[in-house]
Structure formats: structure tokens, C-alpha cells
Structure 1
Amino acid sequence: MVNILHIDSSPRGERSHSRELSKEFVSSWKAAHPEDAIAYRDIGRHTIPHVNEAWIASAFSPPETHTPELTEALRISDELIDEFLAADRYVFGVPMYNFNIPSTFKAYIDQIVRINRTVAIEAQGFRGLVEGKKAVIITARGGDFSATSPFVAYDFQEPYLRTIFGFIGITDIQFINANSLNGGDARTQSLSEAQAAIQNLITQW
């Protein structure tokens, strides 16, 4: 049995393409692998708090020195990290906002990228502690940021996500990027291509 963590980060509901596509992936996967367990977290509608001063003080000090306030400051982070580490694979639905990820997802990342929990500092430098995991990241973009587009240099979304998850040890990452979703025939074609990519990945992931 495989444990999958499915996370949506769009604040939109039924009009969200990233939600619809991530849901399609998970539904298709569940149909093909009914024995697998899927946990779901909606951080678009149920937002994660941003890191604050108490969080930083707690995360970078020995646990035995923590006051009740500092212990509480990491409670949500501990919950999210425990859930994250319990999963074998991840499915993320992520819209593109201003060439990158929405703040809802950045707040989540800031909570789970933590020294001594998901990354270690060693003599040689940093070492990711989240090993042997796989991720599928399904993005929704209003414009065309594909490899052949003149706007590809504006795509800070995929490079950032590859970097930050690689930093904690997750390097087996598949991207399904739905581009050109602002409207017209290009949107229809892009959604069709994303759906085809989902079905193809289901057989290989």
C-alpha cells in the first residue's frame, strides 16, 4: 500500500483548473490502485499561518529550552511535517500567481522546510532528510510558459519548486503544466494535453 498526500493550494473553488486536474489525477490513481491511502489537505481555503518570530526562535533553539509559547509556535509545523513524512508520494495542485506560487503554498513550504526535521546541517553543508519519495506537481498558468514560449524565462514556479523540494531530498518530481488557460482554443488544447499527461503518468508513476 502506498500513502499519498494530496494538497490543493488554489483559493478558487469549482473554477480552479489546478484543483480540477489534481482531483482527476487522484481519482484516476485511486481507481487503478484502490488499496492505496490518500490524505487530503486544502490549504487554499484553509490557509496555513506564516512563519513568525516565535516560530524562528523555536525552530533554531534546542527543544529542551522551549517555553510553552515556543512549543506552541511549532505545533502546526510539527503536525504538517508529521503528515508530510508519513506519505510516500505527493500530488500538489498549484496555480501560478505572478510567475510563481501562491502565498498559500509558500506558507506551507515555510512550515515544512525545517532544520532537523526535513533538512540537516552537516560539515559538508545541507542534506535533505526526505528521501525515497515521489511528487507530481500539477500547475495552472494563465499564459504560455512552455519551453518554446518567449515567456519561459518568466517561469519561476517550476524552478523554485524543483529547488525547494530537492533541498529537502525530493528529486523525483513530475510536472504537468497546464499553460494558456486565459481562454480560447489554446486553453481547450492545453487542458486536453494535461488530462492526457495525467492518464499517461498514472501508468508509470
Structure 2
Amino acid sequence: MKLLHIDSGIQGERSASRALSAAVVDRLRSDRLDLAVVRRDLVADPIDHLLPGDLAGGEADGIASEFLDADIVVIGTGLYNFTIPTQLKAWVDRILIPGRTFLYGEAGPEGLAGGKRVIVTLARGGIYSPGSPAAPLEHAETYLRGVLAFIGITDPEFVIAEGLALGEDARAAAVSAAMQRANDVAGAVAA
């Protein structure tokens, strides 16, 4: 079984999304001894932003193949300026490939990358959950759900830590609750 671990949090050792994604991967590794893990750190080893000619061949094919070969994909990201970091957007641009991960038919787009388990660990400084005053500004979870559904992954699982910028006590409580959720989600995937 193959797992692709993507990290895009820019806060290094203080990154909650990195800590959460690592916890998910560690739990899956402990439960699945046959798990082969490929890690892609989009901050340490960034992908160039999309330019003309980048849509097929070369790096795009390698990144898409890495994604398509994975049975499980774990994505660690933060919410930056209401959306995903540009590093993760550059990766998404490389996996949205007509004929490989989706195609357009008479009935509209059809996803070709279904059948994968995708777990997204998402860290947010404020409170953006449904019903909160800032909910309309949340474009990381909504964007990723939309992109993944477009390519056929309709049931990604999200582990969210939010309110991280509301003080150290709030941060600790949010990360602790998210760590428990990360353990539960990874345990269910490994079962």
C-alpha cells in the first residue's frame, strides 16, 4: 500500500498542520507495516507556479503519477489569507490533468482519480467553521473539497484545528482536540 504525504505549512516547527499530518502518517505506519510512504514538502522543495507549457509532460507527469499511484494521500495545510498556500496550489495545478485525473464528457466533467483515501489536516488561526461570522471567508477546505470532488474523490476527511491565533491556551486546546481526531481518522483508515 502506498501513501503520499504532502506538507505545505510555512511555519516550520510551529506548524500545526505539519504536526497533525505527521500524526496521521505515524499512526498509519504503526497500523500498516506494508505502508510505503512518499513525502513531498512543498515548502522545502517548492514546485514552480504554473506557466504555459507546464500542463503536460515533465514535472507535471511525475507529480501526477506520484499522486495517482498513492492509495492514501495525506495533505497538511494552513489557511493563509482565506485560502490554501501558493505552494499547495502549484501542486494542485500539477494533478489536475485532463485525461489523467478528469475528463470532459457530454454530461460534464468526470473524475478519474476516485478510490483513494484522502485526509487533509487543516490549521486555521481564526474560527471559520460553519455558522461562525468568518465562515464565508473560508476558502481552503471548500476549495480542496471542490477540487478533489472534481477529480473523483468525493469523501475526503478533514482534521481541523482552528482558533490557533486566539492565544496559547486556545491553540493548545485546538491542537489537542485535532490530534485526537487525527488519531481516530487514521485508525479508521488503517482498519
- TM-score norm. by structure 2 comes to 0.94
- What is the alpha-carbon distance in structure 1 between the residues aligned to residue 66 and residue 141 of structure 2? 23
The equivalent of 2:17 in structure 1 is 18
> Closer, same or farther in 2 for the Cα pair 1:33/1:7, shift >3 Å?
same
- Please tell me the root mean square deviation across aligned C-alpha atoms, in Å: 1.3
The equivalent of 1:112 in structure 2 is 95
Match of residue 102, structure 1, among 85, 93, 105: 85
Residues 18 and 76 in structure 2, CA contact (< 8 A), matched pair in contact too? yes
CA deviations 1:23-51 (Å, max 9, x no partner) are 11111111111221111111122111111
CA deviations 1:51-86 (Å, max 9, x no partner) are 112225xx4xxxxxxxxxxxxxx3000000111110
Query: Deviation at 1:179?
Result: 0.2
- What is the alpha-carbon distance in structure 1 between the residues aligned to residue 157 and residue 84 of structure 2? 16
Residues 10 and 45 in structure 1, CA contact (< 8 A), matched pair in contact too? no
The equivalent of 1:162 in structure 2 is 145
Match of residue 155, structure 2, among 145, 152, 172: 172
Please list, as runs of the form range in 1=range in 2, the aligned pairs for 1:9-48 lying within 5 A after superposition: 9-48=8-47
Residues 95 and 139 in structure 1, CA contact (< 8 A), matched pair in contact too? yes
Residues 4 and 37 in structure 2, CA contact (< 8 A), matched pair in contact too? yes
Residues 6 and 76 in structure 2, CA contact (< 8 A), matched pair in contact too? yes
Please list, as runs of the form range in 1=range in 2, the aligned pairs for 1:16-165 lying within 5 A after superposition: 16-56=15-55, 59=56, 74-165=57-148
Secondary structure at the aligned position of 2:21 is classed as helix
Moved over 3 A (4+): none
**Aligned amino acid, residue 20 of structure 1:** A
Q: Which has the larger radius of gyration?
A: 1
- TM-score norm. by structure 1 comes to 0.87
Query: Deviation at 1:144?
Result: 1.2
Query: Deviation at 1:132?
Result: 0.8
**Aligned amino acid, residue 52 of structure 1:** L
- What is the alpha-carbon distance in structure 1 between the residues aligned to residue 84 and residue 2 of structure 2? 25
Task: Could you tell me which runs of 5 or more consecutive residues in structure 1 were left unpaired when the two chains were aligned.
Answer: 60-73
- What is the alpha-carbon distance in structure 2 between the residues aligned to residue 122 and residue 79 of structure 1? 25
Query: Deviation at 1:11?
Result: 2.7
Q: How many residues align?
A: 188
Query: Deviation at 1:148?
Result: 4.1
Secondary structure at the aligned position of 2:14 is classed as coil
The equivalent of 1:187 in structure 2 is 171
Query: Deviation at 1:146?
Result: 2.0
Secondary structure at the aligned position of 2:13 is classed as coil
- What is the alpha-carbon distance in structure 2 between the residues aligned to residue 30 and residue 161 of structure 1? 25
Task: Could you tell me which runs of 5 or more consecutive residues in structure 2 were left unpaired when the two chains were aligned.
Answer: none
- What is the alpha-carbon distance in structure 1 between the residues aligned to residue 53 and residue 74 of structure 2? 30
Higher relative contact order (CA 8 A, sep 6+): 2
